[in-house]
A and B are shown apart, each in its own frame.
Chain A
């Protein structure tokens, strides 16, 4: 009997400690929930702000509204019958017209796996005027000092970048018309103006970033009309503003 009693006590101790811990965690989770959401939102806003021109104001989607479903024009085929959503962040001019979009894209073909990139696009009037404004590597696990150089100076303003594409990888995607880009990654000695200059000793990482940007660029080019219509007709946004401030 005493053996069974001690077993019950032992189990009870785990259950009570588990229950108290769960209650404590629920409290901490509730306290930090808002701050975590705000930190993630600020992180996204900062990254989007970097890839769109300074005169464009970023408007992040309502977090609560974001979920599994998305409008038809943002649907993405993930293969094997699965579908997902493109993450697109629009930016508007002061008069409410759409001036740029940032598209989150990725490639699993990095040297150490997935590389996530945010690509900014301007010149949304037509596929001919479509231009890459800038890219920003959001996440990667590439080798420090080699593949990680894809992020070199990406947080600095382009005025500090100079013009050496061998040094600053972001220059390959800075203010480039899509019609002038091949997205082919080549060594500096072989690359033409339309090609992407590979980071020395990190061709795989360079290619992964280039592929990720190319996928996003092709999607934007093919769906430009529906993106422009879907992301808020600029007139509607402008009209909405006028209603608020007559």
Chain B
């Protein structure tokens, strides 16, 4: 039971995109298309799970004084692995995500979970936490990308969904990212308030 709650916490209650507002830079930059959002989300998910597990496994070995450099080295290693693997096997997505893959190293969610959770908890719990947070991040990115791609480009995962000429360009531009994110956070707060009010 606690396993499921670890996962759902990242998906909804502590969703990194909509509740914690972490990792905003890639969130705003890579959500012009759902394909990129999935690519970015799954890359971050892999790094989150791997770094959480590694940090939890080494938590009794890593001294407190140098824990941050150790965490960063571990995270950078997993990010470089993702970078190389994407470049080799999904070259188009790697090209589209560009600089945002290496920048996962300094993503607040990854280091935040390593420091706040994985360094204090057992491996299994940290694995589930990484999985939940990673899925939550992917979910957030896909929600935002859906709004932006459908309204701004008239497609969803590349498939046309609105007639030509009915696109609102601003949604694929940076201001559209902020506007969409604001409305999605508002909607999420609204749902949460309704849930609280109705038990």
Contact = CB atoms under 8 A, between A and B. Distances in A.
* Best-buried of B63, B77, B88, B167 by chain A (most CB within 10 Å): B88
Contact of A25 (B61, B81, B153): B81
B69 interface: yes
Contact of B66 (A13, A25, A144): A13
B96 to A, nearest CB: 11
Interface string A1-24: 000001101110110011001001
Contacts of B173: 143-145
Contacts of A10: 63, 65-66
Given A32-B84, A32-B85, A145 B172 contact: yes
B68 to A, nearest CB: 10
Interface stretch (A33-41, A174-182, A204-212): A33-41
Given A10-B65, A145-B152, A32 B87 contact: yes
B32 A144 contact: yes
B111 to A, nearest CB: 15
A29 interface: yes
Nearest to B89: A35
B84 A28 contact: yes
Contact of B69 (A7, A14, A29, A36): A14
B70 interface: yes
A49 to B, nearest CB: 16
Interface string A63-96: 0000000000000000000000000000000000
A6 B67 CA distance: 13
B81 A28 contact: yes
Nearest to A42: B91
B81 A17 contact: no
Interface of A: 6-7, 9-11, 13-14, 17-18, 21, 24-25, 28-29, 32, 35-36, 39-40, 42-43, 143-146
Interface of B: 32, 58, 61-63, 65-66, 69-70, 73-74, 76-77, 80-81, 84-85, 87-89, 91, 152-153, 167, 169, 172-173
